[in-house]
Amino acid sequence: MGYGVCRLSVVPVRREARDQSEMITQLLFGDHYKVLDESNDHKWLQIRVYFDGYEGWIDQLQHKGIEKDYFDQINKLDLKISTEITAGILYKKKLVHIVLGSVLPISSTELFDLQEQFAFNGDSKNLGLKYHFEQMKQVALQYLHVPYLWGGKTPFGIDCSGFTQQVFRISGYKLKRDACEQFTQGEKVPDLDMANPGDLVFFKNKEGKINHVGILLEDSKIIHASGKVRLDFLDEKGIFNEELGKYTHDLIGLRRILSG
């Protein structure tokens, strides 16, 4: 069916091929994908995001088609990723506002497609450069107080697993999109006493299914998206919200992604 790349600030990816359907994730500028199918009315495309394998539907009007060799070239280059909350990139002499975690069409040494005419002078890092915990913590804190948004991945609205995925992506690590998928990655941490700052912490609902994830910080604190991206206390029972005076999430397990 073809391939595409996001050339807008952010594009909603929906569960079904209609505007009223639930937004399950977002494409940020620079995200690329494979086209799997087209709706009968030709208004929607079903896609698979290259980075995390997530599938959903995007509006045909927000699709930018690319050739397979161009798609393959993107996958091989160590591109850059934006490290500013917002920045501007000139695309075909027009300004596009991009957000933290957008993939920049620039390799370590050059533009990878001169025909697309990009110019960017904001802050960025190489996608493949792995951060240590202190650097990753600073990335996470950039999202502090960002409102919760189901399916969101931006500094203007983000969900719990979108938050962890973006923080780790900017820090040089690949995470899947949903919390239950992230729980299968990395190394299992037996209990909270053996945890390190930077470990992923997972929580369950009443049925015992994983429904939440956050990032462990020092001093028994966790940063996570619940209502907004916030800092709370964590113990072996779960997350304690001081404002509400109660536990809000029940701990189920931890995983270690950071190397070293």
Active site residues: 160, 212, 224
Helix (H, G, I), strand (E, B) or coil at 164: helix
Are 213 and 226 a contacting pair, CB within 8 Å? no
Q: How far apart are CA 241 and CA 248, in angstroms?
A: 7
**Which residue is listed with tokens 């009968």?**
40
114: burial class by Cβ within 10 Å (0-12, 13-18, 19+)? Answer: exposed
Q: Are 73 and 39 in contact (CB under 8 A)?
A: no
Q: What type of residue sits at position 209?
A: K
> Tokens standing for 96?
């596009």
Torsion over CA: 227, 229, 233, 237 (sign): positive
C-alpha to C-alpha distance for 112 and 74, rounded to whole angstroms: 8
> How many Cβ atoms are within 10 Å of 10's Cβ, its own excluded?
20
Residue 30 in contact with residue 13, Cβ under 8 Å? no
Angle between helices 160-170 and 133-142 (to 10 degrees): 130
Other beta carbons less than 10 A from residue 69's beta carbon: 8
